[in-house]
């Protein structure tokens, strides 16, 4: 259990912590916008300076260059840090990212996205990156500052890995982690006992959670092409094979209205949940109404809570995302597109892997295309993929997080699997061979990636206490 002095310090210094979050939000570190790349570097320098001031030994690692939108750009550095080398203590590795999603006021923001606005009525801290992921990173800084100011030794050794490309593919990070692990005792991750990542959210706005699983992803692009150029439907309609007609037929064969994946063998890979696992979902403080409120309409695939939750957390899903090359503007344009591309993805769960899924999709789509007897040409591409991750939630790392959550929030956390993907989670788990934990700070209604992204003041302050208390519970846990 963390000391009362630590908890009091966090409460007392909340205004300063919020001010520091404001400084971080003010740096528009958008990794997906080449014009903002200098700002991402500025953010790395700011964060590096903060860590150094709090006693952390750091290293900015050059990850090289990459090409984005036809322009060669330097990759933002990874920040590696360490504080504490006591062989009697456990060592915790913390990961986070200092880059953010794009944001413009014209997108529909009520306030300037890169100016932290403190809404005194609601307690919301509004600004891009407030919850994803600058708030959680600063939560760790708050923990470090409290211990330094109070002259209290940290209960564990800490290692840090912060990157600036998470929102744009995490380029270079996997190779860095593997190379550091390969260095053994000379690497920054030597002796790490567990990993903690705070880059996800509660299921709702009521109940804290700890997360032990993430779905993977395989993202496909189907391109059907035929004529050498766009055609006039009044001249060529019903004279030629139309690419759009073929593509719509193919897209309609991928997933049923009830969510069933129609690609043979995909759903069959996943076994049914046993009674112990079903009880986890039954206990979750999450309802069909929560889903309906989140999407703004009563459109869930089932009225059964467990079925709906498992659809997100432990079943694969196939979603159709869009069609490239088709007419979509206002008015009525009678065009036959020469080439169209349909984009869809499959969220995958263990034991599925991209290597198992891709051949099934390619074979099925090619078979369905052959049935059309079309003279058009089909091209199937895997744009990117990532494997799913699942951790042992009975591990002492999770027990420490559970006890810390109960100490701060006075309630047991929900035990969740996320429907999304954080690829670096699996890289840490496999490269280091240690347990990885997701311990969220923010709420389910924070609006990460959306307009008016926010982090509640209470979650920022209580979340900082949670991260610090977690370190004490890790120290006390029997490994």
Query: pLDDT digits over 405-427, tens only?
Result: 999 999 999 999 999 888 899 99
The residue-averaged pLDDT of 381-400 equals 95
Question: Could you give the CA distance from residue 470 to residue 197 in angstroms, rounded to a whole number?
Answer: 12
Is residue 69 pLDDT above 90, yes or no? no
Is residue 339 pLDDT above 90, yes or no? yes
Question: Could you give the CA distance from residue 425 to residue 195 in angstroms, rounded to a whole number?
Answer: 9
For residue 421, what pLDDT is reported?
A: 84
Q: Which of 145, 163, 166, 414 is catalytic?
A: 166
| pLDDT tens-digit series, residues 234-268 | 999 999 999 999 999 999 999 999 999 999 999 99
In the residue annotation, 99 being an active-site residue is answered as: yes
Centre a 10 Å sphere on the Cβ of residue 276 and count the other Cβ atoms it contains. 7
Is residue 327 pLDDT above 90, yes or no? yes
Is residue 221 pLDDT above 90, yes or no? yes
Phi and psi angles of residue 204, each rounded to the nearest 5 degrees, phi first: -140, -160
In the residue annotation, 292 being an active-site residue is answered as: no
Report the alpha-carbon angle 137-215-422, nearest 5: 25
Phi and psi angles of residue 362, each rounded to the nearest 5 degrees, phi first: -60, -45
| pLDDT tens-digit series, residues 176-197 | 999 999 999 999 999 999 999 9
Centre a 10 Å sphere on the Cβ of residue 11 and count the other Cβ atoms it contains. 11
Question: Could you give the CA distance from residue 466 to residue 355 in angstroms, rounded to a whole number?
Answer: 38
Question: Could you give the CA distance from residue 435 to residue 80 in angstroms, rounded to a whole number?
Answer: 20
For tokens 């993977």, the residue is 216
* Predicted TM-score of the model (pTM): 0.91
Q: Which of 39, 48, 99, 418 is catalytic?
A: 99
How does the average pLDDT of the chain come out, rounded?
97
Is residue 391 pLDDT above 90, yes or no? yes
Helices 4-12, 134-150: crossing angle, 10 deg rounding: 120
DSSP string, 217-256: EEEEEEEEE-SSS-EEHHHHTTTS--HHHHHHHHHHTTB-
Is residue 109 pLDDT above 90, yes or no? yes
């Amino acid at each position: 259990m963390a000391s009362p002095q630590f908890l009091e310090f966090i409460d007392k210094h909340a205004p300063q912590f919020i001010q520091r979050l404001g400084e971080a939000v003010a740096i528009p570190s958008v990794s997906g916008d080449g014009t903002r790349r200098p700002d991402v570097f500025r953010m790395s320098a700011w964060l590096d300076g903060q860590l150094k001031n709090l006693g952390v030994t750091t290293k900015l690692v050059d990850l090289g260059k990459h090409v984005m939108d036809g322009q060669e750009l330097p990759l933002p550095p990874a920040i590696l840090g360490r504080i504490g080398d006591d062989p009697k203590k456990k060592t915790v590795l913390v990961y986070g990212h200092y880059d953010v999603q794009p944001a413009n006021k014209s997108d529909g923001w009520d306030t300037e996205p890169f100016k932290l606005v403190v809404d005194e009525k609601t307690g919301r801290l509004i600004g891009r990156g407030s919850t994803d992921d600058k708030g959680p990173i600063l939560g760790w800084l708050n923990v470090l500052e409290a211990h330094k100011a109070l002259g209290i030794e940290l209960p564990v050794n800490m290692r840090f890995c912060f990157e600036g490309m998470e929102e744009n593919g995490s380029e270079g990070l996997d190779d860095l982690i593997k190379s550091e692990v390969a260095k053994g005792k000379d690497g920054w991750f030597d002796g790490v006992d567990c990993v903690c990542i705070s880059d996800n959210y509660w299921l709702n706005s009521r109940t804290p959670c700890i997360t032990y699983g993430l779905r993977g992803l395989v993202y496909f692009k189907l391109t059907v092409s035929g004529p050498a150029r766009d055609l006039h439907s009044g001249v060529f309609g019903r004279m030629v094979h139309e690419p759009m007609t073929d593509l719509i037929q193919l897209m309609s064969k991928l997933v049923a209205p009830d969510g069933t994946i129609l690609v043979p063998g995909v759903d069959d890979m996943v076994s049914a949940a046993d009674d112990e696992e079903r009880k986890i979902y039954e206990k979750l403080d999450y309802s069909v109404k929560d889903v309906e409120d989140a999407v703004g309409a009563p459109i869930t695939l089932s009225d059964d809570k467990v079925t709906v939750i498992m659809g997100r957390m432990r079943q694969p899903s196939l979603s159709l995302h869009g069609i490239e090359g088709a007419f979509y503007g206002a008015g009525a344009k009678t065009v036959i597109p020469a080439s169209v591309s349909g984009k869809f993805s499959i969220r995958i769960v263990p034991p599925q892997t991209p290597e198992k899924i891709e051949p099934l999709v390619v074979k099925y789509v090619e078979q369905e295309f052959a049935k059309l007897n079309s003279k058009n040409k089909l091209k199937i591409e895997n744009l990117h993929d990532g494997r799913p991750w699942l951790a042992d939630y009975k591990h002492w790392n999770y027990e420490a997080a559970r006890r810390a959550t109960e100490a701060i929030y006075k309630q047991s956390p929900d035990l969740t699997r996320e429907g999304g993907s954080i690829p670096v989670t699996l890289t840490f788990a496999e490269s280091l061979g240690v347990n990885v934990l997701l311990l969220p700070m923010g709420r389910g209604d924070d609006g990460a990636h959306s307009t008016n992204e926010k982090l509640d003041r209470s979650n920022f302050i209580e979340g900082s206490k949670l991260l610090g208390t977690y370190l004490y519970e890790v120290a006390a846990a029997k490994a």
